[in-house]
């Protein structure tokens, strides 16, 4: 049984699951799970989504702690934080995609 950090309450876990549970966000996470770091325009191109829509989803996930953003020149790129929840989410998503 996986026990999350003792400070993680069930309502916080539910919020993370709702954030990640959107179909577009699941697709975005699958792309990011296959890369170490990837930029907004590359994700948008891979998924045939607009940059604006992709950027919106990435910002929401970043705000909730599911992703870490960084600037690469003029581009904004994202990577996964080293968190147990993200690791477990990756195993779950990749198993069922």
Total domain count, the chain: 1
- Looking at the domain assignment, is residue 19 inside a domain? no
Tell me the percentage of the chain whose pLDDT exceeds 90: 58
Would you state the pLDDT for residue 89?
87
- Looking at the domain assignment, is residue 18 inside a domain? no
pLDDT tier at 53 (50, 70, 90 boundaries)? Answer: very high
DSSP one-letter code for 11: H
- Looking at the domain assignment, is residue 16 inside a domain? no
Would you state the pLDDT for residue 56?
97
- Looking at the domain assignment, is residue 9 inside a domain? no
Query: Can you give the residue range of the structural domain that contains 54?
Result: 24-96
Residues 8-23 have pLDDT tens digits of 678 888 888 899 989 9
- Looking at the domain assignment, is residue 12 inside a domain? no
- Looking at the domain assignment, is residue 5 inside a domain? no
What span, in angstroms and rounded, lies between the C-alpha atoms of 61 and 31? 14
| Residue 6 clears pLDDT 60, i.e. is over it | no
CATH at 58: 1.10.10.10
Concatenated DSSP letters of 59-88 = HHHHHTTS-EEEEETTEEEEE----HHHHH
| Residue 97 clears pLDDT 80, i.e. is over it | no
């Amino acid at each position: 049984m996986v026990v999350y950090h003792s400070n993680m309450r069930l309502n916080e876990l539910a919020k993370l699951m709702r954030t990640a549970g959107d179909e577009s966000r699941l697709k975005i996470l699958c792309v990011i799970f296959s890369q170490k770091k990837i930029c907004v325009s590359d994700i948008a191109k891979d998924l045939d989504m607009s940059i604006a829509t992709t950027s919106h989803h990435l910002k929401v996930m970043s705000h909730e702690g599911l992703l870490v953003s960084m600037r690469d020149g003029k581009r904004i790129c994202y990577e996964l934080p080293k968190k147990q929840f993200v690791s477990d989410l990756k195993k779950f998503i990749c198993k069922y995609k």
